[in-house]
Amino acid sequence: MGKKKETFEPLHAIGLFWIFFGIIISVGIFVSKTGLGKATNGICGAILFFSGVGAFLKGTYNKRKSPKG
């Protein structure tokens, strides 16, 4: 009776994917031979990683805010 049905929050899945993808791109820093390549991989990896963290946290906020979650 008191069980709440778990709702799917798509921002969790998107956030986890972006975090994972950002880590993979950041590992590319060690593979790149040029300084520009290392900087590009680092910046793009950081943008994806922090966007993923933001999306995941926004999904958590939405889930807590909803009356079902």
20-47 tens-digit pLDDT:
999 999 999 999 999 999 999 999 999 9
Q: Computed over its alpha carbons, how large is the radius of gyration of the chain? A: 17
Alpha carbons 53 and 28: distance in angstroms, whole number: 20
Q: How confident is the model at residue 64 (pLDDT cuts 50, 70, 90)?
A: confident
Residue 51 carries which DSSP code?
H
- Report the pLDDT averaged over residues 1-25: 86
Alpha carbons 24 and 40: distance in angstroms, whole number: 13
What local confidence, expressed as pLDDT, does residue 9 receive? 86
CB 11 within 8 A of CB 54: no
Verdict on whether the full-model pTM lies above 0.75: yes
